[in-house]
Structure 1
């Protein structure tokens, strides 16, 4: 795309409705504000950042016809819609003010050009917006009370001294409340920093992310996480004191429990086992990392609990468990027709693409598999478990590690054998996962009697070369699937599991291939990580495993 319009929300006509001003340069606030003397027509819509209903005069407005009213200047704005305005090019700005003041129906005035000429408006003021470096001054008619609030001298038009006193008391009360809020926020942040220091230490961010103690932008982003902290008593009450009935599952890190907060929200609590030798580093990594990731296809973290010897992560609760519960289960596999499976495939693709390309940090997941894809109530996929994830700098394409972690069957060959990982490592794992979704079989399950050690990737590759790839399609789908679309997904999967990382497509290319019918390249030989027994070489070079041993492999 070379050019598009409108560039900002405020460029749209009437974005903030009648008597509203659209200001996109207000930090952490709604774009729409009401003109002086006005208030939102619908406070509910205004709170939801919908200002199209505009603004009305405030309740209790005094008469604005010869009753001490005046004008408040609104600076640097695009003046209102002038299709119904009145013009007089012979009046200067001062004369324009007097002219508008004499006309009780006049709601605002402005100069027509560089201080000369007069433009006046009657009725609602429409399509106003603040400009950064240009714009004109608009003078809005207000009653005496509002005028006094904007005047430098509060007694400009207030004859009642009591009103001045009330205004001063109101300002003092607001200042006191503001001071108390600031004190409370600072106190809470100090407590959070103490918890972070206890959990991570002073240099955890730089030590884990980089090979240098120098602070980087990535370090600062992670260590300044705003992840909420939950009290242990709150989590214990939500999970019925971590009862067996609330237990959802167990992993190398510990157990996961279902919980119900006092406000009715359901949560999933990932509790790090006290005796687990695995999980402490992963817990730190996930706390620092996932709080910065926001995408509809990533599991949302709600907070964490670090108290006494307990370390827990609190996630949104997803009622349909994980993807492997469906595709590897005979009784539940039929619940996923092809349309639903294809939607899950596309959702996973978008989630990984966000991690690799669109998020603020470039993330390599390193443990993408069916059990780490959770399903919400609408069967939308959400990628979970970022304990193994690693962060790349913007200019970094790959990295090496001596600690190979992950799950056999999903590891790319360059990662499993040499500890080298990149975005293409996740692409390989995605290709294996795609084949599992299509076939309903695990990659580590063996097939033919003729080749008892063949894994799913090799099995599909052999059938693809023979032109019989549809034989691997999950039998629970019956004949109710689009043949061309399924064959296309199988071919994309084989492109993703090619032995050479450079031959594999990126996730942006994968998403494009899933979304159109363009001709796909022919896949090259995949990587087969399961060694055949008794013989390290096979015909056609089908086995890519060499005799190099892995260093400190920790399979999950």
Structure 2
């Protein structure tokens, strides 16, 4: 009898344990979640509970990654109705709904609000291992009466549906938080639109600011990274029930998410467990070409052209609506068909644009039954058809569908890789010019394929003889790993001779295998960012030393000259405010520079980021300005060489662990010898917005060119705004113009970054602004030298000269009579200067 009782008691204990273990991921009528309780999914990937954002006492119900050390919330229930105390309860009520209320149930903060639930069925909520919180009736766990995946916050998770339910009209819209500490519905939303061909848009309020492009069969045409089989596989479904896209991870052990941020971007991120942080895979919009309709109708945004001075170019057969706008770098009015063009005549044809995000398909026509050839014929027969493209490039050979445009073609851009082909209609004359250019390219190709091998064979014997007779002593692996540093320097025009370099250069020559091992074979998780000439990766050597590896892109435009130039300059420059070069690697086509690793990246990542800007109080900003002055003073005067940087900007000022500035990126720097004060170049390089007028327009550069860039940088540090910011209220389109207006009105301290509040030294701020305006004056002769700047900063009692009008003050003109333009709204310059062709980075 005793034995039976013991067995019965054991069974009861076992059943209670089983019941407890199987209910930790569910909420029932009798088992609510109170503030302090944590609900964990079956696989322990996600958790649900109450949380408070940083520096906030408000309580929200949310879902977050359970095993990620940095709490990362992916869904919030009561986004705009926080609970102000810790008495919150999430429970299932008698109507079968999930409800959030306080203990006294006096107010309901949130509810699933499901109607038509059968009252005789018990409702249960369960947190799945996908991060989906589902509500079901009775024991039928496969049919959900409600699920959080249908009502997302700011995060798109794998296996989640993004799109529209045609039957119910449900449109799953992702919205940003109001700020990093307020999960309320913010200004930015990401949603699908079915007008024309399906697309996703990023909105700021009701204004479109970015577009994914149409679905190509491999991914969205505006996200070339999706065509690479890396982390996820995208599935696009379009049927009578729904139009959705779903992403699945190739490796389910990886944690990856898509976030609509409060910084007006959409970021694809993955968790790096080693560094315990989220690593960016891609982010959009990330350059000016991503801005919606940046180049207007029939305009193509192309950052990769080596010939154009402006990123906006017109379609073949089209010309700028306003050449004045084009000169002022305003492409918003787009292009018009060239004068004399006769479309819909005999001889019309199409010009192919490669690697593009096709125009906005909202007004396009789609026919999925046609292949590419039939699509061309359809467009050619219709006089209103201005261009066509394949709807599905993965099926282009067998079909692929057809998209045709019959009105303005807007928001087109090129990519260095990815995208698809767009075919633009042109008349017979334009087509003839295009075909002529193609034939010339074909002849060149034939010569390369047939003629070059014949010539090569003729010189082959001579080449072998020359190589055999050469008696130059080099290390056996030098041709594979490094290059002769001193000899290569001698061959450069304007570079240093051996007496300048010295006999010993304290640099390490790294082999490719060492760099590859240090960066985990250039893993995307180690990618720190992209610069003007390639990508930068974080690495760790075998001795545990952290390094930053600048891997120069083969198509970047930085050739051997710029590479050697940067190595030579940084190797001989030693200063606490200049980045330190540890060594280099040169392997066949690979060129890499190895720097000291600076954990805080560029200054731009702080001053232009609303969250990080608060980490730079006025004292630290003033110290950063002083550090940049010291670095430039060393380059211009104190080193054995006189170096002109030529590309000083916020992203080229790196911050170490103590937020001390270090000037970097010397690929464009120039050396002056002896009494040289000024030089001229036909190859204008640098960054638009930081170039001095004499350099941008005439190719003249001197130390005063760097002084101008320094002035712009100081204004950006103080204001937290980029120079190309648009100040609509003041009718100026850049920071210089705004500061100058405020200076004339004695209100210049109003430009100080609002994140500083009143906690800044007004006297120091006014001094820095005064110096900055002196640095950006029109004439180089009026600008101070860095020696003068250093003196003015350290002797604050000194009477400073009154500044003259700065350069590049562009205004939005509202009356065409002011410039004699064809229409209102054109942009003009008070200087009435024309801008020469630039080669910008």
Q: Distance in 2 between matches of 1:328 and 1:394?
A: 39
Q: Distance in 2 between matches of 1:257 and 1:223?
A: 31
Aligned in 2, Cα 1:550/1:529: closer, same or farther, shift over 3 Å?
A: farther
Contact preservation (8 Å) 2:481, 2:585 = no
* 1:233 Cα deviation from its structure 2 partner: 0.9
Q: Could you list the per-position Cα deviations for residues 407-434 of structure 1 after superposition, in whole angstroms to 9, with x for gaps in the alignment?
A: 1110000000000000000000000000
Aligned in 2, Cα 1:445/1:254: closer, same or farther, shift over 3 Å?
A: same
1:550 aligns with 2:836: yes
Q: Which residue is equivalent to 1:379?
A: 659
Q: Could you list the per-position Cα deviations for residues 50-104 of structure 1 after superposition, in whole angstroms to 9, with x for gaps in the alignment?
A: xxxxxxxxxxxxxxxxxxxxxxxxxxxxxxxxxxxxxxxxxxxxxxxxxxxxxxx
* 1:367 Cα deviation from its structure 2 partner: 0.2
Aligned in 2, Cα 1:363/1:195: closer, same or farther, shift over 3 Å?
A: farther
* 1:448 Cα deviation from its structure 2 partner: 2.7
Aligned in 2, Cα 1:521/1:428: closer, same or farther, shift over 3 Å?
A: same
Q: Which residue is equivalent to 1:240?
A: 520
Q: Distance in 1 between matches of 2:658 and 2:693?
A: 35
Aligned in 2, Cα 1:222/1:322: closer, same or farther, shift over 3 Å?
A: farther
Q: Which residue is equivalent to 1:463?
A: 742
1:427 aligns with 2:719: no
Q: Could you list the per-position Cα deviations for residues 466-516 of structure 1 after superposition, in whole angstroms to 9, with x for gaps in the alignment?
A: 100011110000001111111111000001101110111110110111112
1:482 aligns with 2:755: no
Q: Distance in 2 between matches of 1:346 and 1:205?
A: 35
Which structure's relative contact order is higher, taking Cα pairs within 8 Å and 6+ residues apart? 1
Contact preservation (8 Å) 2:707, 2:776 = yes
Q: Could you list the per-position Cα deviations for residues 1-34 of structure 1 after superposition, in whole angstroms to 9, with x for gaps in the alignment?
A: xxxxxxxxxxxxxxxxxxxxxxxxxxxxxxxxxx
Once the two structures are superposed, the pairs formed by residues 36-75 of structure 1 within 5 Å of their partners are: none
Contact preservation (8 Å) 1:322, 1:374 = yes
Q: Name the SS of the counterpart of 1:476 in structure 2.
A: helix
Q: CA RMSD in A?
A: 2.8
* 1:225 Cα deviation from its structure 2 partner: 3.9
Q: Distance in 2 between matches of 1:223 and 1:530?
A: 51
Aligned in 2, Cα 1:228/1:495: closer, same or farther, shift over 3 Å?
A: same
Contact preservation (8 Å) 2:509, 2:585 = yes
Q: Distance in 2 between matches of 1:285 and 1:545?
A: 37
Q: Which moved more, 1:402-411 or 1:303-312?
A: 303-312
Contact preservation (8 Å) 1:257, 1:270 = yes
Q: Name the SS of the counterpart of 1:330 in structure 2.
A: coil
* 1:278 Cα deviation from its structure 2 partner: 3.8
Aligned in 2, Cα 1:192/1:512: closer, same or farther, shift over 3 Å?
A: farther
Q: 2:751 aligns with which of 468, 472, 479?
A: 472
The number of residues matched between the two structures is: 360
Q: Distance in 2 between matches of 1:246 and 1:404?
A: 33
Higher strand share: 2
Q: Name the SS of the counterpart of 1:208 in structure 2.
A: coil
Q: Name the SS of the counterpart of 2:585 in structure 1.
A: strand
Q: Distance in 2 between matches of 1:490 and 1:250?
A: 31
* 1:268 Cα deviation from its structure 2 partner: 0.1
Aligned in 2, Cα 1:267/1:494: closer, same or farther, shift over 3 Å?
A: same
Q: Distance in 1 between matches of 2:583 and 2:735?
A: 38
Q: Name the SS of the counterpart of 1:291 in structure 2.
A: helix
* 1:287 Cα deviation from its structure 2 partner: 1.2
Q: Distance in 2 between matches of 1:530 and 1:390?
A: 30
Aligned in 2, Cα 1:218/1:407: closer, same or farther, shift over 3 Å?
A: farther
Q: Which residue is equivalent to 2:782?
A: 503
Q: Name the SS of the counterpart of 1:554 in structure 2.
A: coil
* 1:463 Cα deviation from its structure 2 partner: 0.6
Q: Name the SS of the counterpart of 1:416 in structure 2.
A: helix
* 1:523 Cα deviation from its structure 2 partner: 0.8
Q: Distance in 2 between matches of 1:222 and 1:196?
A: 22
1:392 aligns with 2:672: yes
1:361 aligns with 2:646: no
Higher helix share: 1
Contact preservation (8 Å) 2:736, 2:809 = no
Q: Which moved more, 1:514-523 or 1:436-445?
A: 514-523
Q: Which residue is equivalent to 1:440?
A: 720
Aligned in 2, Cα 1:189/1:514: closer, same or farther, shift over 3 Å?
A: farther
Aligned in 2, Cα 1:243/1:509: closer, same or farther, shift over 3 Å?
A: same
Contact preservation (8 Å) 1:253, 1:279 = no
**TM-score for the superposition, normalised by structure 2:** 0.41
Q: Which residue is equivalent to 1:454?
A: 733
Q: Distance in 2 between matches of 1:459 and 1:205?
A: 47
Q: 2:536 aligns with which of 219, 240, 256?
A: 256
Q: Distance in 2 between matches of 1:232 and 1:271?
A: 11
Q: Distance in 1 between matches of 2:728 and 2:512?
A: 52
Q: 5+ residue gaps in structure 1?
A: 1-186, 211-215
Q: Distance in 2 between matches of 1:407 and 1:367?
A: 6
Q: Distance in 1 between matches of 2:762 and 2:595?
A: 38
